[in-house]
Amino acid sequence: MREPTAFFVQTDRSDASAGLVSPARAGVEISWNDGVVEVTAERVSRVALRWSDKLPADALILGDAWERSYGDLQWRHLQPERLLPWYFLVHSGAGTFGMGVDVQPNTFCAWTVDGDGYTLWLDLRNGGGPVHLGGRRLAAAVVRRFDDGGTPWQTLNAAVASMSTRPPARPEPAPVVGANNWYYAYGENFDEKAVLKDASTIVELADGHPVKPFSVVDDGWYPGGVCSGGPWDRGIPGVFDDLAATASAIKDIGARPGIWFRPLLVREPSPLASKVPHDKPGRALDPTHPEVLDGLRSDLHRFRSWGFELVKHDFSTYDVFGNFGPAMGSRLTADGWQFHDPSRTTAEIILDLYREIRTAASDLLVIGCNTVGHLAAGLVDIQRIGDDTSGRDWERTRKMGVNTLAFRLPQHNRFFTVDADCVPCTPQTPWELNARFLDLIARSGTALFLSIDPAARTPETDRALRAGIRLALDGGDPGGIEPTDWLVNTTPTTWRSGDELVEYDWSQPWGADPHG
């Protein structure tokens, strides 16, 4: 691989492009060995690696996202200030190429691309300040170059495969299909009876398929209200009195039980809280405190002892940074705060958190939601790749669900099982459009979760649900699917499914009743 044209270092500044100096001037040693980047320093914030390379004027650029995508993945013309987390592709009349970093790097890595070349920004900070390496040699990242694979789609698939060499080889994953109550209950007005109804519904619609579906108890099962935090040791009195009995009842119905939790938030202020600016001050836990990880292990052991077979952990990126992905930008988090342990980069700390969850979960399937996919690869079984779809607003499902599947589908079964989020079946959203989303997800072979409001079930919905669930449980279209208009459309309407082209109209008819 071609060595960078230049190296730059930033020691203390927060702005990504400010205060860049030569490594020698900063007292920082940068080692480049055929793509392996190592950094030795006392204190350092960022390292920038620059390649000079004149790009075609007609170039289109694609990048990824820090964590989930938010309907914002797309090919664009050159935009030098655009931050491209983890990897990028350049497509023009001359073909397609790109660069990226292997999964599980020890730094947050992003690219910027301009007409004269591209820059890799390695963020080594600890929270909102420089990491205190104390002379430690940090294996920062492994850089890859991607050559033309024939088409942009083939190039992206080959690129993702090349970046996913660090995780151990995954066993052939079984199809992941299940019920999730969030998009009709939204954490309110549901109880054990409703959860068991969901389990009965998904088992009925799976129609005896040998692969058992899941039934997930999502947010709202514990005291304190929606998204309020732990402890995660009991359900709401009078509503979920015995979670072990709930899990057992789900199994008796014929489904596999799953449960949601938010590992880094507690309901009352804690001395183990992070200093990150947060909308719940004193309640977002700092994972560099050993006691926090002890509590996390206890939670996961408890869920397993209750009989759950899947655990979904959520909100950890927000609770670490005080921001969701779109607000992270190049700073990631607010300036001026650091973790209890300032000697590790934020990426190292998050990787250690994911490793603890993976180990403590043991044989439970792990879903990461609001987790950093490039760090979580190999440490979660299933990854929510996009922001929430909706059981109340079809446009949100179109924007979030279709976009993330189109641009992140190559990560499926390479980084993890991809989850583009739930297909709603609710009275508030048009079933005709939800049914198209169901068909697309089912064909893709990715995880299919459904939020089925009992009030929305009809013979028509049941026919489509049965067909989609059957196809998903069979593993989707064996030939795979591909968006064919993704260069010009953020929510592609034309998809190649095996040997056929399938057209999806995602637009709600003007003048029609939005609820049918």
pLDDT in tens, the chain (516 residues): 899 999 999 998 666 677 899 999 999 999 999 999 999 999 999 999 999 999 999 999 999 999 999 999 999 999 999 999 999 999 999 999 999 999 999 999 999 999 999 999 999 999 999 999 999 999 999 999 999 999 999 999 999 999 998 776 666 678 999 999 999 999 998 999 999 999 999 999 999 999 999 999 999 999 999 999 999 999 999 999 999 999 999 999 999 999 999 999 999 999 999 999 999 999 999 999 999 999 999 999 999 999 999 999 999 999 999 999 999 999 999 999 999 999 999 999 999 999 999 999 999 999 999 999 999 999 999 999 999 999 999 999 999 999 999 999 999 999 999 999 999 999 999 999 999 999 999 999 999 999 999 999 999 999 999 999 999 999 999 999 999 999 999 999 999 999 999 999 999 876 656 555
Q: Which residues contact 265 (CB under 8 A, 6 or more apart)?
A: 227, 228, 229, 230, 280, 283, 284, 285, 315, 319
Q: What is the pLDDT of residue 512?
A: 59
DSSP at 293: H
Instruction: Give the full edge-to-edge strand order of the sheet including 500-503.
Output: 481-483, 494-497, 500-503
Q: Is residue 357 part of a domain?
A: yes
What is residue 172's predicted lDDT score, i.e. its pLDDT? 65
As a whole number of angstroms, the distance between CA 461 and CA 446 comes to 21
In 390-433, where do the E strands start and end?
Answer: 417-419, 423-425
Provide the pLDDT for residue 516: 52
Cβ–Cβ < 8 Å for 222, 146: no
pTM for this predicted structure: 0.97
Is 81 a member of any domain? yes
The candidate with the shortest Cα–Cα distance to 123, out of 38, 47, 237, is 47
The answer to the question of residue 322 being in a domain is yes
Show Cβ contacts of residue 8 under 8 Å, excluding neighbours closer than 6 positions.
20, 21, 22, 23, 47, 48, 50
Asked whether 494 and 486 are in contact (CB, 8 A), the reply is: no
Cβ–Cβ < 8 Å for 164, 107: no
Report which of 86, 88, 31, 118 is spatially closest to residue 347, judged by C-alpha positions.
86
- Residue 263 identity: P
Dihedral (Cα; 456, 459, 461, 466), 10-degree rounding:
130
Domain residues for the domain of 360 are 1-166+262-384
Query: Which secondary structure element, helix H or strand E, spans residue 36, and what is its range?
Result: strand 36-40
Alpha helices in 208-362 (DSSP H): 243-253, 290-306, 316-321, 325-328, 346-361
**In a domain? residue 333:** yes
C-alpha dist (Å) from residue 129 to 20, 125, 132, 274, 354: 16, 6, 9, 14, 22
Is residue 407 in some structural domain?
Answer: no
Q: Which amino acid is at 240?
A: F
Into how many domains does the chain fold? Answer: 1
Predicted local confidence at residue 169, as pLDDT: 62
Burial tier of 56 (Cβ tally within 10 Å: 0-12, 13-18, 19+): middle
Confidence (pLDDT) at 514: 53
d(CA 6, CA 332): 24
In a domain, 3, yes or no: yes
- Residue 443 is assigned to a structural domain of this protein: no
Domain assignment present for residue 504? The answer is no
- pLDDT (0 to 100) of residue 508: 82
